Amino acid sequence: MTDASHQPRPGPWRRFTAVYSAFLTATLALSVALLVIPVSLQIFSRYTALIPSYIWTEEMARFLFIWTIMVGAMIGVREATHFEVDVWPRMGRRAEAVARFLGRLGVLGAAVVFVTAGIQFTEFAWNRTSELAELPLWLIHVAWPITGVTWMVFLGEQVWDDLATIAGSRA
Protein backbone atom coordinates (compact mmCIF):
# COMPACT_ATOMS: atom_id res chain seq x y z
CA MET A 1 0.00 0.00 0.00
CA THR A 2 1.41 3.40 -0.98
CA ASP A 3 1.09 6.54 1.03
CA ALA A 4 -0.32 9.48 -0.97
CA SER A 5 2.06 11.87 0.81
CA HIS A 6 5.09 10.06 -0.69
CA GLN A 7 3.91 10.34 -4.30
CA PRO A 8 5.65 13.04 -6.32
CA ARG A 9 3.68 16.23 -6.76
CA PRO A 10 2.78 16.98 -10.38
CA GLY A 11 4.73 19.78 -12.02
CA PRO A 12 3.23 23.02 -13.35
CA TRP A 13 2.66 21.58 -16.85
CA ARG A 14 0.63 18.64 -15.52
CA ARG A 15 -1.33 20.92 -13.20
CA PHE A 16 -2.09 23.19 -16.16
CA THR A 17 -3.27 20.32 -18.36
CA ALA A 18 -5.41 18.94 -15.53
CA VAL A 19 -7.09 22.33 -15.00
CA TYR A 20 -7.51 22.81 -18.76
CA SER A 21 -9.03 19.33 -19.06
CA ALA A 22 -11.47 20.07 -16.23
CA PHE A 23 -12.43 23.33 -17.97
CA LEU A 24 -13.02 21.47 -21.24
CA THR A 25 -15.13 18.85 -19.48
CA ALA A 26 -17.32 21.55 -17.92
CA THR A 27 -17.52 23.33 -21.29
CA LEU A 28 -18.62 20.10 -22.96
CA ALA A 29 -21.38 19.55 -20.41
CA LEU A 30 -22.54 23.15 -20.80
CA SER A 31 -22.54 22.98 -24.61
CA VAL A 32 -24.60 19.79 -24.60
CA ALA A 33 -27.06 21.40 -22.18
CA LEU A 34 -27.26 24.54 -24.32
CA LEU A 35 -27.70 22.47 -27.49
CA VAL A 36 -31.00 21.20 -26.11
CA ILE A 37 -32.50 24.71 -26.22
CA PRO A 38 -32.39 25.51 -29.97
CA VAL A 39 -33.17 21.90 -30.91
CA SER A 40 -36.21 21.91 -28.61
CA LEU A 41 -37.35 25.23 -30.05
CA GLN A 42 -37.06 23.77 -33.55
CA ILE A 43 -39.19 20.78 -32.60
CA PHE A 44 -41.85 22.83 -30.83
CA SER A 45 -42.06 25.39 -33.63
CA ARG A 46 -42.54 22.67 -36.26
CA TYR A 47 -45.26 20.70 -34.50
CA THR A 48 -47.14 23.30 -32.48
CA ALA A 49 -48.57 26.75 -33.03
CA LEU A 50 -47.54 27.83 -29.53
CA ILE A 51 -44.35 29.55 -30.65
CA PRO A 52 -43.39 31.01 -34.03
CA SER A 53 -41.00 29.19 -36.27
CA TYR A 54 -37.49 30.33 -35.35
CA ILE A 55 -35.12 30.05 -38.29
CA TRP A 56 -32.01 31.02 -36.29
CA THR A 57 -32.37 27.94 -34.10
CA GLU A 58 -31.10 25.63 -36.85
CA GLU A 59 -27.97 27.70 -37.29
CA MET A 60 -27.38 28.02 -33.55
CA ALA A 61 -27.79 24.26 -33.12
CA ARG A 62 -25.24 23.65 -35.89
CA PHE A 63 -22.72 26.03 -34.30
CA LEU A 64 -23.13 24.45 -30.86
CA PHE A 65 -22.95 20.96 -32.34
CA ILE A 66 -19.63 21.68 -34.06
CA TRP A 67 -18.14 23.12 -30.87
CA THR A 68 -19.46 20.14 -28.88
CA ILE A 69 -17.76 17.74 -31.29
CA MET A 70 -14.47 19.65 -31.18
CA VAL A 71 -14.40 19.92 -27.38
CA GLY A 72 -15.26 16.23 -27.14
CA ALA A 73 -12.37 15.44 -29.50
CA MET A 74 -10.03 17.50 -27.31
CA ILE A 75 -11.07 15.52 -24.24
CA GLY A 76 -10.78 12.28 -26.21
CA VAL A 77 -7.13 13.01 -26.99
CA ARG A 78 -6.47 13.99 -23.37
CA GLU A 79 -7.89 10.69 -22.15
CA ALA A 80 -6.23 8.75 -25.01
CA THR A 81 -9.57 7.29 -26.06
CA HIS A 82 -10.45 9.23 -29.19
CA PHE A 83 -7.71 7.88 -31.45
CA GLU A 84 -6.61 4.76 -29.63
CA VAL A 85 -7.70 1.28 -30.69
CA ASP A 86 -6.30 -1.90 -29.18
CA VAL A 87 -5.26 -4.17 -32.07
CA TRP A 88 -1.92 -5.49 -30.82
CA PRO A 89 -1.51 -8.57 -28.64
CA ARG A 90 -0.26 -8.08 -25.10
CA MET A 91 3.24 -6.64 -25.21
CA GLY A 92 5.78 -5.44 -22.68
CA ARG A 93 5.60 -1.91 -21.26
CA ARG A 94 8.26 -0.54 -23.59
CA ALA A 95 6.75 -2.12 -26.71
CA GLU A 96 3.33 -0.74 -25.76
CA ALA A 97 4.89 2.69 -25.24
CA VAL A 98 6.49 2.50 -28.71
CA ALA A 99 3.12 1.56 -30.27
CA ARG A 100 1.37 4.42 -28.44
CA PHE A 101 4.16 6.83 -29.43
CA LEU A 102 3.82 5.92 -33.12
CA GLY A 103 0.04 6.32 -32.93
CA ARG A 104 0.44 9.69 -31.27
CA LEU A 105 2.68 10.83 -34.11
CA GLY A 106 -0.31 10.26 -36.39
CA VAL A 107 -2.52 12.32 -34.10
CA LEU A 108 0.18 15.00 -34.07
CA GLY A 109 0.07 15.06 -37.87
CA ALA A 110 -3.70 15.60 -37.74
CA ALA A 111 -3.18 18.34 -35.14
CA VAL A 112 -0.72 20.15 -37.41
CA VAL A 113 -3.26 20.01 -40.24
CA PHE A 114 -6.01 21.32 -37.93
CA VAL A 115 -3.81 24.24 -36.85
CA THR A 116 -2.45 25.25 -40.27
CA ALA A 117 -5.62 24.72 -42.28
CA GLY A 118 -7.73 25.97 -39.37
CA ILE A 119 -5.91 29.30 -39.34
CA GLN A 120 -6.59 29.72 -43.07
CA PHE A 121 -10.20 28.61 -42.49
CA THR A 122 -10.60 31.22 -39.74
CA GLU A 123 -8.97 33.98 -41.81
CA PHE A 124 -11.41 33.20 -44.63
CA ALA A 125 -14.34 33.73 -42.25
CA TRP A 126 -12.90 36.71 -40.38
CA ASN A 127 -15.12 39.42 -41.92
CA ARG A 128 -18.13 37.24 -42.68
CA THR A 129 -21.33 36.68 -40.73
CA SER A 130 -23.82 33.84 -40.71
CA GLU A 131 -26.94 34.38 -42.79
CA LEU A 132 -29.63 33.79 -40.21
CA ALA A 133 -28.28 34.55 -36.75
CA GLU A 134 -25.79 37.13 -38.07
CA LEU A 135 -23.02 35.72 -35.89
CA PRO A 136 -19.39 36.25 -36.87
CA LEU A 137 -18.34 33.08 -38.70
CA TRP A 138 -14.83 33.14 -37.27
CA LEU A 139 -16.41 32.09 -33.93
CA ILE A 140 -17.16 28.70 -35.43
CA HIS A 141 -14.13 28.39 -37.70
CA VAL A 142 -11.67 29.06 -34.87
CA ALA A 143 -12.70 25.72 -33.34
CA TRP A 144 -10.33 23.91 -35.72
CA PRO A 145 -7.04 25.62 -34.79
CA ILE A 146 -8.00 25.63 -31.09
CA THR A 147 -8.63 21.89 -31.31
CA GLY A 148 -5.28 21.32 -33.03
CA VAL A 149 -3.34 23.34 -30.46
CA THR A 150 -5.15 21.58 -27.62
CA TRP A 151 -4.27 18.20 -29.11
CA MET A 152 -0.62 19.29 -29.23
CA VAL A 153 -0.74 20.36 -25.58
CA PHE A 154 -2.16 17.03 -24.44
CA LEU A 155 0.03 15.02 -26.80
CA GLY A 156 3.14 16.69 -25.40
CA GLU A 157 2.38 15.29 -21.98
CA GLN A 158 1.59 11.83 -23.35
CA VAL A 159 4.65 11.67 -25.63
CA TRP A 160 6.84 12.67 -22.67
CA ASP A 161 5.43 9.76 -20.67
CA ASP A 162 5.90 7.35 -23.58
CA LEU A 163 9.50 8.43 -24.13
CA ALA A 164 10.23 8.04 -20.41
CA THR A 165 8.80 4.52 -20.53
CA ILE A 166 10.78 3.65 -23.68
CA ALA A 167 13.96 4.97 -22.06
CA GLY A 168 13.25 2.81 -19.01
CA SER A 169 13.01 5.63 -16.51
CA ARG A 170 9.42 4.67 -15.54
CA ALA A 171 8.60 1.41 -13.82
> Residue 3 domain-assigned?
no
Q: What is the pTM of this model?
A: 0.83
Task: Decide if 94 is inside a domain.
Answer: yes
Count: domains in the chain: 1
In a domain, 5, yes or no: no
Asked if residue 148 lies in contact with residue 11, where contact means CB atoms within 8 angstroms, the answer is no
| Residue 42 belongs to domain spanning | 12-167
In-domain check, residue 135: yes
Tens-place pLDDT, residues 143-171: 999 999 999 999 999 999 899 989 887 65
Residue 132 lies in a domain: yes
DSSP the chain: ---GGGSPPP-HHHHHHHHHHHHHHHHHHHHHHHHHHHHHHHHHHHH-SSS---SHHHHHHHHHHHHHHHHHHHHHHHTT-SS----SPP--HHHHHHHHHHHHHHHHHHHHHHHHHHHHHHHHHTT-B-TTT--BTHHHHTHHHHHHHHHHHHHHHHHHHHHHHHHT---
Q: Is the pLDDT of residue 9 over 90?
A: no
Task: Check whether 66 has a pLDDT greater than 70.
Answer: yes
* Backbone dihedral angles phi then psi of residue 160, each to the nearest 5 degrees: -60, -45
Within a domain: 2: no
Q: Does some domain include residue 4?
A: no
Query: How many C-beta atoms surround the C-beta of residue 32 within 10 A?
Result: 14
Residue 122: inside a domain: yes
Of 15-24, 66-75, 110-119, 127-136, the one with minimum mean pLDDT is 127-136
CA distance 125 to 140: 9
